[in-house]
A and B are shown apart, each in its own frame.
Chain A
């Protein structure tokens, strides 16, 4: 009896250690793959060694037209486009790396960055102080206004910010709009991960208004019937959007800032925005 059980225990231990070994292997290969992607963290020992196979992994939450969104291209393939994607392309070009985009929930993005699965987060990220503690943030590359979206019939009812006092307001979880909505007195917040879910809440009457990023709100209002943007202007503290880099990766951060400076100097970002807006309207 004892013998059998000890046999079973040994079997179990062997299988566990095998599994552990598997995990170890995966871990190693993952780490080496990362060393190629994380441009320059420790690559100084072997400079330009893997220039061709270098990969820049960028995380974004592609539900945010015109910043980043999905389209179905002519040949039926899924594609992520938007001006954040264009900026990512430029950064990858300057680094001599190949761009890989990872589409994630917005709330998962910073975790992805901290756990080293993505090199950059370019997803309409606002420079919140709490965020700056967790990850390094680049210079501001774009500024946008916020908008209040309501049902068409309510457009005049919510024409000022004061009219939102005590109302039910929908915002994206972890976004800058969430902080703005918190400033409104007695407002009851509904926080959801996806903008499309917030629009659903609005349309089904579960929230009275939604605070959404200006260009994003416009593309939703154009494409979803029965919605309107009110005259109310949420107070913005002159925030803009930044790119997130893993804490301590100064080299990559400097590279990103250099690219952003170049794009701003050549007025390319405005062009990207325009292009993305047109794409968002076509779909």
Chain B
């Protein structure tokens, strides 16, 4: 029961770390979602340049480690271009960029998975292409890729732990601090693991409820 004792004694550390992690993950999920849709649309654009930008974005950000991206954004930009982001900004930007690449691919799969007939029907009813995308294709696409999106959200929560490297006071950083106070290098990690698990488990339950709701709407 050392686990509970330690959690209780250092609850202020864990909870402030939890706050930071939640904030970062929320920004990463939200920003990644929005940017991801944009990138997916770029990738499917009929203009060559836009298509190229979208493809390059996805391939580069998906093909390089997030830790490297983080270090480049936090230290590389500061030394080369004097763009001195704060720790939170660097962390959030990295998470948004990285997750947008993955989410863009998920969205693209979803959008392309919607039957062509849907677009044709909408267009023949007189909807413009933007309107068709917004009201006909995207809602169906989002529903189909919801499990995949949930997967990515969980990944973002877990990957946000990387930003401890630049000194962001999230869960892992606080865990290290407690390790240096107590000289115990196992219990704090276990507590951190449990905290992450609770976070991701809750998220997957919420997404499950959401998914079922959308399914029910279909049956009517």
Contact = CB atoms under 8 A, between A and B. Distances in A.
Genuine A/B complex:
yes
Nearest to B128: A4
Contacts of B12: 76-78
A268 interface: no
Interface residues of B, number: 37
Interface string B39-63: 0011001110010000000000000
B178 to A, nearest CB: 8
Contacts of A72: 9-10, 181
B86 A26 contact: yes
A101 B87 CA distance: 14
B167 A115 contact: no
Centre residue among B42, B45, B165 by max chain A CB count within 10 A? B165
Interface in A1-55: 1, 4-5, 7-9, 12, 23, 26-27, 30-31, 34
A4 B129 contact: yes
Nearest to A4: B130
Given A63-B176, A70-B177, A78-B13, A9 B50 contact: yes
B84 A30 contact: yes
A104 B167 contact: yes
Interface string B126-139: 00111000000000
B100 to A, nearest CB: 13
A264 interface: no
A72 B11 CA distance: 12
B85 interface: yes
B75 A111 contact: yes
Interface in A181-205: 194-197, 199-200
A118 to B, nearest CB: 10
B181 A70 contact: yes
Contacts of A117: 78, 84
Q: Is the interface of B mostly helix, strand, loop or mixed?
A: helix
A36 to B, nearest CB: 14
Interface in B5-61: 9-10, 12-13, 38, 41-42, 45-47, 50
Interface string A54-92: 000000001101000111100011100000000000000
A1 B123 CA distance: 11
A157 interface: no
A276 to B, nearest CB: 14
Contacts of B165: 105, 108
B71 to A, nearest CB: 8
Interface in B176-191: 176-177, 179-181, 183, 185-186
B85 A26 contact: yes
Contacts of A116: 78, 84
A117 B79 CA distance: 10
Nearest to A197: B185
A31 B10 CA distance: 36
A102 interface: yes
A199 B167 contact: no
A105 B78 contact: no
A199 B183 contact: yes
Given A76-B12, A200-B186, A115 B179 contact: no
Given A27-B82, A76-B12, A7 B130 contact: yes
A103 interface: yes
Interface string B62-102: 00000000010011001100111110010000000000000
Interface of B: 9-10, 12-13, 38, 41-42, 45-47, 50, 71, 74-75, 78-79, 82-86, 89, 128-130, 164-167, 176-177, 179-181, 183, 185-186
Given A108-B167, A199-B185, 18 more contacts: A1-B129, A5-B45, A27-B84, A62-B180, A77-B12, A102-B167, A104-B167, A105-B165, A108-B166, A111-B71, A111-B75, A112-B167, A115-B74, A115-B84, A194-B176, A194-B179, A196-B183, A199-B183
30 contacts: A12-B38, A26-B84, A26-B86, A26-B89, A30-B86, A63-B180, A65-B180, A69-B180, A72-B9, A72-B181, A76-B12, A77-B12, A78-B13, A78-B177, A102-B167, A103-B167, A105-B164, A105-B165, A108-B165, A108-B167, A111-B74, A114-B79, A115-B75, A115-B79, A116-B78, A116-B84, A194-B180, A196-B179, A196-B180, A200-B185
Interface of A: 1, 4-5, 7-9, 12, 23, 26-27, 30-31, 34, 62-63, 65, 69-72, 76-78, 102-105, 108, 111-112, 114-117, 194-197, 199-200, 220, 223-224, 283
